[in-house]
Amino acid sequence: MDSISAQGISHAFRDAELLADAIVAGLGGARPLRAALAEHWRHRDQAIRPRYDFTVRLAGFAPRPAGRLLLASLAGRPAEIDQFLGAFAGLVPIEEYLAPGNVLRILGGAGLLRLAQATESLVGYARSSAIRHARHVPVHRGCPLCQRPAGTGDE
């Protein structure tokens, strides 16, 4: 897909195999060729979209505040660096790595507070919520920022 994450060749091989399966299904009579190809294209596009969006953001060379904070929060955390590089290389699905709950877990309360301060679009409730989380008062039931499971008695 691009020279930065080196996903192109692996996606090309995967897509060629899946396209061959769709053609065999269509020409072999298992289903109409047009329908088999349309389904293949739909699944291919759906599967590639998160990686495509990630690549477009990288190519823009304009990191957002959240991206800068995420990278800064990895410093000195080898397990988190491994997960980031796994997502970058395609070993960890990018949509899972960048899911809000995972990003919040990585950033933690203090990182979320810095993000709220750096991003003008986070106002009102989001800002006050970030401040409460950064101070860990109160602890919210099952909240990934508080990193305590529900039912610990600290709710």
Digit-coded pLDDT (tens) for 37-72: 999 999 988 888 887 887 787 777 777 777 888 888
Q: If you compute the radius of gyration of the chain from its CA atoms, what whole number of angstroms results? A: 21
DSSP-assigned states of every residue in 134-147: HHT-SPPTT-TTTT
17-26, 45-54, 80-89: which range is least confident on average? 45-54
- Contact 80/106 with Cβ under 8 angstroms? yes
Mean pLDDT of 94-102: 87
> pTM for this structure?
0.54
Spatial contact of 10 and 90, defined as CB atoms under 8 Å apart: yes
In sequence order, what are the residues at sequence separation of 6 or more whose Cβ sits closer than 8 angstroms to the Cβ of residue 132? 138
